[in-house]
Amino acid sequence: MSEVVAEFVRAVEPTLNPTRQREPGRKADFPGLAGNWAYLDTAATAQKPQIVIDAIAQAYGADYATVHRGVYERSATMTMRFEEARETVARFIGAASPAEVVFVRGATEGINLVAQSWGQRLAAGDRVLLSALEHHSNIVPWQLLRDRVGIEIDVAPLTDDGRIDEAALEAMLTPRTKLVSIAHVSNVLGGIVDVARIARAAHGVGALLLVDGCQAAPRLRLDMAAMGADFYVFSGHKLYGPTGVGVLWGRADLLESMPPWQGGGAMIETVSFEASTYAPPPQRFEAGTPAIAEVIGLAAAIDYVESIGIEAIHAHESALVSAARAALGRINSVTLFGPEESAGILSFAIEGVHPHDIGTILDESGVAIRAGHHCAQPLMALLGVPATARASFAIYNDLDDVARLAAGIERVTRIFGTETK
């Protein structure tokens, strides 16, 4: 470690000790971090604590049975655990009722569900308002709907520091705007949007608000009533849970008014060759055998996060991002993107070095980051770069990881002939 990095770490160490020492978030809880691996790619997918792995193994092992179908004891017990997981999710996000919680494969499927079900009420000339920093999963479903029915898509700009320009977004709303769909936290820049403000503005013109909460759910306190959103989606695997499961929350009256988007078992009341009738939400939107073990694993992940405290997690990650910004900001050729205050995410570039080369060199030192367009190609075009390097932090990261990142970046600059400040 260079003296520049060592000096920086000594200076900021006291500010991180209170959260760094929280026992439930220790690295030993995460078997995927064995081998002194500095994992800084949580925005892509989080490592899993052993308690989640054990819950999934138990669900697939001694406890395994189908749900919502069997009359035998184990099936009834598994059904109870499955529905208890729905209650856990509802409590975690401040939903009015577990019936507002729809299990999906992930946020991508949740957005597609809304676009294909609720979106059936849209017609040519109706408008959907997005922002310039959206993930592809919050762009492409609306383009597909546009191509089918002729809706129009508007795009709200960003502020100079990479946040959604909320004032500009409000000015773009018209009576033809039927839906605003935005990210709560940018997966590239880490900026946090004022959901309640956007909800009030959208409702003021009669529009609904859908929020992509993938990066928010692992680190921000969620309260559906307080935020005022109409739909909210997130993925389990970014919340220290398994892949293949996510959540669509929707207001009860909206879900009740929406037609099913897939047909099959579990989502029906009666079926004949002449006609079928459908179950009430959330079952109406959960056709087929669900991801049983994954749902139970998601509930275990939420329990784990709540045992640490969501506010403590956010404070810890924000402090680590601030430390990383300060450390990398000392290097001449490094450009930092996004706001000074961000939620666990830092994107950057090094002059004359492709992000893939940055990622490869860091990997040689046991530091894992993301390099690419992060499924946000329109944002990359706005930033004027083909890709960025991204470090994203979690409850299992600490100042040692920040120091290793900074030391690795210094090594990159030496290899490519740049200097530190």
> Taking residues 49-64, what's their average pLDDT?
97
Residue 156 pLDDT grade (very low, low, confident, very high; cuts 50, 70, 90) = very high
79 in a structural domain:
yes
Whether the predicted pLDDT of 17 surpasses 60:
no
Beta-bridge partner residues of 271: 276
Average pLDDT, the chain: 94
**pLDDT value, residue 22:** 40
pLDDT digits (tens, 9 = 90+) for 315-331: 999 999 999 999 999 99
**Percent residues over pLDDT 70 in the chain:** 93
**pLDDT value, residue 18:** 40
Whether the predicted pLDDT of 26 surpasses 50:
yes
Q: Is 70 exposed, middle or buried, given 0-12, 13-18 or 19+ CB atoms closer than 10 A?
A: middle
**pLDDT value, residue 13:** 55
Whether the predicted pLDDT of 388 surpasses 80:
yes
Q: What is the CATH number of the domain that holds 386?
A: 3.90.1150.10
Of 9-18, 39-48, 239-248, the one with minimum mean pLDDT is 9-18
What pTM value is reported for the model?
0.94
H and E: helices and strands count for the chain: 14, 15
420 in a structural domain:
no
Whether the predicted pLDDT of 418 surpasses 90:
no
**DSSP letter assigned to residue 335:** E
Asked whether the CA dihedral 317, 319, 322, 328 is positive or negative, the reply is negative
Residue 42 tokens, joined: 């949580």
> Taking residues 185-189, what's their average pLDDT?
98
Whether the predicted pLDDT of 269 surpasses 60:
yes
Same domain for 176 and 200 = yes
**pLDDT value, residue 19:** 42
Same domain for 38 and 97 = no
Residue 419 pLDDT grade (very low, low, confident, very high; cuts 50, 70, 90) = low
Same domain for 167 and 300 = yes
Give pairs for 25-31: CB < 8 Å, separation 24+. Answer: 25/308, 25/313, 25/316, 25/395, 25/396, 26/396, 27/396, 27/398, 29/304, 29/396, 30/396
pLDDT digits (tens, 9 = 90+) for 359-384: 999 999 999 999 999 999 999 999 99
| Alpha carbons 32 and 40: distance in angstroms, whole number | 13
219 in a structural domain:
yes
Residue 232 pLDDT grade (very low, low, confident, very high; cuts 50, 70, 90) = very high
Half-sphere CA count of 194, side-chain side, radius 13 A: 11
Whether the predicted pLDDT of 23 surpasses 80:
no
**pLDDT value, residue 69:** 86
214 is catalytic: no
Whether the predicted pLDDT of 12 surpasses 60:
no
Q: Which of 268, 336, 375, 385 is catalytic?
A: 375
Residue 15 Cα distances to 176, 323, 344, angstroms: 49, 10, 16
**pLDDT value, residue 7:** 56
Residue 24 pLDDT grade (very low, low, confident, very high; cuts 50, 70, 90) = very low
Whether the predicted pLDDT of 299 surpasses 90:
yes
Same domain for 170 and 260 = yes
Residue ending a domain, choose from 288, 307, 326: 307
> Taking residues 388-404, what's their average pLDDT?
97
Same domain for 224 and 127 = yes
Same domain for 339 and 259 = no
DSSP characters for 95-113? -S-GGGEEEESSHHHHHHH
Q: 3-state DSSP call for residue 346?
A: strand
Same domain for 287 and 206 = yes
Angle at which helices 399-415 and 355-364 pack, to 10 degrees? 120
Q: Which amino acid is at 49?
A: P
Q: How many domains does the chain have?
A: 2
> Taking residues 48-63, what's their average pLDDT?
98
Cβ–Cβ < 8 Å for 349, 334: yes
Same domain for 89 and 20 = no
198 in a structural domain:
yes
Q: What is the CATH number of the domain that holds 156?
A: 3.40.640.10
Residue ending a domain, choose from 307, 324, 350: 307
Residue ending a domain, choose from 277, 307, 337: 307
Same domain for 61 and 41 = no
Same domain for 214 and 144 = yes
Same domain for 182 and 118 = yes
207 in a structural domain:
yes
87 in a structural domain:
yes
Enclosing domain of residue 343: 3-48+309-415
**pLDDT value, residue 417:** 82
Of 5-19, 36-50, 349-363, the one with minimum mean pLDDT is 5-19
Residue 3 pLDDT grade (very low, low, confident, very high; cuts 50, 70, 90) = low
Q: What contacts 376, CB < 8 A, 6 or more positions away?
A: 133, 134, 135, 136, 187, 188
Same domain for 279 and 166 = yes
